[in-house]
Chains A and B, each alone.
Chain A
Amino acid sequence: GGDLHQLSSGQISKLINIKYHGDATLLIKQLSMDLARKESELAILAKEKFSNEQRLIRLCNEYGNLSTLEIHHKLNEKSEPEDHHHHHRWNEKEELRDVTQHQETGLADEKTQPNKSWLRNWFNSTEDLTTTGLTLSVLLVSSSYTNLVQGPTKSYNRPHSRSLTQLKRAPEPSSSTISEKDPVEMENILINGTYKEKDPVDSLPAEDLHIDKYGFFTDIEPIKKLATVIRSSLTSSDTTSELVTFKSPLQTIHQLKEIGKIHDSISLQFEHQWEILMKEIEKDFFAYSKDKGIDVGIDMMIGMKGLNLIELDNFNDKGLIKGKTDYYNRLVNLTTLLGIPSKFRFKLWLQLSGAKNLRVNGEYNELLNEAKYHEGIANNNKEDNSKIDNRLKIINHNIKQIKLDLHRTLPRNYYFNNLIELKPGPNYYKLQRILYAFVAYRPDIGYLQGMNKIVGNLLLLLIKGGGSNANLESHDRYDEEDVFWIFIGLIEEILPKYSHKIVPHEASPSLTLEQDESFYNSLLSIRVDQIVMKTFYLDQMLPKLSLHFRSIGFEIELVTMNWWLTLFIDLKFLDLDTWFKVFDNLLIGGFKEPNSAPIDEPQNDSELVQHSVEEIKKAIKLITLTLSILKCLEPTILSMSDKDSLYELLNS
Chain B
Amino acid sequence: MSQGNFAQFKLVLLGESAVGKSSIVHRFVKNTFDDMRESTIGAAFLTQSITLPESKTTIKFEIWDTAGQERYKSLAPMYYRNANAALCVYDITSKASLIKAQDWIKELKKQAPEGIVISLVGNKSDLTENREVEEGEVDEYIRQMTEDGSVIITSECSAKTGDGVLDIFNKIGRALPVEEAVGGNRSRQAGRRPGGVDLGRTNRQQTQSSSCC
Binding site for B on A (CB under 8 A): 131, 134-135, 138, 220, 401, 404-405, 408-412, 417, 446, 448-450, 452-453, 523-524, 527-528, 531, 535, 550, 552-553, 555, 557-559, 561-562, 565-566, 570, 644, 647-648, 651-652
A562 to chain B: which residues have CB within 8 Å? 41-44
Q: What total count of A-B pairs have CB within 8 Å?
A: 108
| 9 tightest Cβ-Cβ pairs between the two chains A and B | A411-B36, A562-B42, A553-B202, A647-B45, A408-B39, A134-B32, A450-B41, A404-B18, A561-B42
Q: Which residue of A lies closest to B34 (CB)?
A: A134
B3: shortest Cβ distance to chain A, in Å? 22
A411 to chain B: which residues have CB within 8 Å? 36-38
Q: Residue B17 at the A interface, CB < 8 A?
A: yes
B71 to chain A: which residues have CB within 8 Å? 446, 448-449, 523
Partner of B39, one of A404, A535, A644: A404
- Judged by DSSP, the binding face of A is helix
Q: Is B202 a contact of A651 with CB atoms below 8 Å?
A: no
Q: Is A523 a contact of B41 with CB atoms below 8 Å?
A: no
Partner of A651, one of B44, B60, B72, B199: B44
Q: Is A644 a contact of B62 with CB atoms below 8 Å?
A: yes
- Judged by DSSP, the binding face of B is mixed
Measured between alpha carbons, how far is A29 from B67 in the docked complex, in Å? 73
18 intermolecular pairs with C-beta atoms under 8 Å apart: A131-B30, A134-B26, A134-B30, A135-B32, A220-B36, A401-B69, A411-B36, A411-B37, A448-B72, A523-B74, A524-B75, A559-B45, A562-B42, A565-B41, A565-B42, A570-B42, A652-B44, A652-B46
Q: A449-B72, A555-B206, A558-B78 are known; give 18 further A-B pairs, CB within 8 A.
A: A134-B32, A134-B34, A138-B32, A401-B69, A404-B18, A408-B38, A409-B38, A411-B37, A449-B39, A524-B74, A531-B209, A531-B210, A552-B199, A553-B199, A561-B78, A651-B42, A651-B43, A652-B44
Measured between alpha carbons, how far is A452 from B40 in the docked complex, in Å? 11
Q: Is A449 a contact of B67 with CB atoms below 8 Å?
A: yes
Q: Is A558 a contact of B37 with CB atoms below 8 Å?
A: no
Q: Binary interface profile of B, 16-53, with partner A (CB < 8 Å = 1, else 0)?
A: 01100000001000111010111111111111000000
A417 to chain B: which residues have CB within 8 Å? 36
Q: Is A523 a contact of B75 with CB atoms below 8 Å?
A: yes
A53: shortest Cβ distance to chain B, in Å? 29
Q: Is B202 a contact of A550 with CB atoms below 8 Å?
A: yes
A446 to chain B: which residues have CB within 8 Å? 71
B47 to chain A: which residues have CB within 8 Å? 644, 648
Q: Residue B1 at the A interface, CB < 8 A?
A: no
Measured between alpha carbons, how far is A331 from B26 in the docked complex, in Å? 45
A535: shortest Cβ distance to chain B, in Å? 6
Q: Residue B203 at the A interface, CB < 8 A?
A: yes
Q: Is B45 a contact of A448 with CB atoms below 8 Å?
A: no
Q: Is A555 a contact of B44 with CB atoms below 8 Å?
A: no
Q: Which residue of A lies closest to B210 (CB)?
A: A531
B39 to chain A: which residues have CB within 8 Å? 404-405, 408-409, 449, 452
A524 to chain B: which residues have CB within 8 Å? 74-75, 213
Partner of B78, one of A449, A527, A647: A527
B64 to chain A: which residues have CB within 8 Å? 558
B150 to chain A: which residues have CB within 8 Å? none
Most interface-central of A412, A450, A552, A566 (chain B CB within 10 A): A450
A410 to chain B: which residues have CB within 8 Å? 38
Q: Is A528 a contact of B69 with CB atoms below 8 Å?
A: no
B209: shortest Cβ distance to chain A, in Å? 7
Q: Is B78 a contact of A412 with CB atoms below 8 Å?
A: no
Q: Is A648 a contact of B45 with CB atoms below 8 Å?
A: yes
B199 to chain A: which residues have CB within 8 Å? 552-553
A135 to chain B: which residues have CB within 8 Å? 31-32
Measured between alpha carbons, how far is A446 from B69 in the docked complex, in Å? 12
A404 to chain B: which residues have CB within 8 Å? 17-18, 39
Q: Is B203 a contact of A453 with CB atoms below 8 Å?
A: no
A144: shortest Cβ distance to chain B, in Å? 15
Q: Is B46 a contact of A648 with CB atoms below 8 Å?
A: yes
B205: shortest Cβ distance to chain A, in Å? 7
Measured between alpha carbons, how far is A85 from B195 in the docked complex, in Å? 54
Using a CB-CB cutoff of 8 Å, which residues 156-213 of chain B contact chain A? 199, 202-203, 205-206, 209-210, 213
A498: shortest Cβ distance to chain B, in Å? 13
B32 to chain A: which residues have CB within 8 Å? 134-135, 138
B187: shortest Cβ distance to chain A, in Å? 15
Measured between alpha carbons, how far is A651 from B65 in the docked complex, in Å? 10
Measured between alpha carbons, how far is A570 from B43 in the docked complex, in Å? 11
A524: shortest Cβ distance to chain B, in Å? 5
Measured between alpha carbons, how far is A561 from B45 in the docked complex, in Å? 13
Measured between alpha carbons, how far is A446 from B70 in the docked complex, in Å? 12
Measured between alpha carbons, how far is A570 from B60 in the docked complex, in Å? 26
B203 to chain A: which residues have CB within 8 Å? 550
Q: Which residue of B lies closest to A563 (CB)?
A: B42
Measured between alpha carbons, how far is A295 from B67 in the docked complex, in Å? 48
Partner of B43, one of A409, A453, A535, A558: A558
Measured between alpha carbons, how far is A401 from B71 in the docked complex, in Å? 11
Measured between alpha carbons, how far is A426 from B143 in the docked complex, in Å? 50
A76: shortest Cβ distance to chain B, in Å? 32
Q: Is A527 a contact of B75 with CB atoms below 8 Å?
A: yes
Q: Is A412 a contact of B45 with CB atoms below 8 Å?
A: no
Measured between alpha carbons, how far is A336 from B18 in the docked complex, in Å? 39
Q: Is B78 a contact of A570 with CB atoms below 8 Å?
A: no
Partner of A550, one of B46, B79, B206: B206
Q: Which residue of A lies closest to B40 (CB)?
A: A449
B186: shortest Cβ distance to chain A, in Å? 19
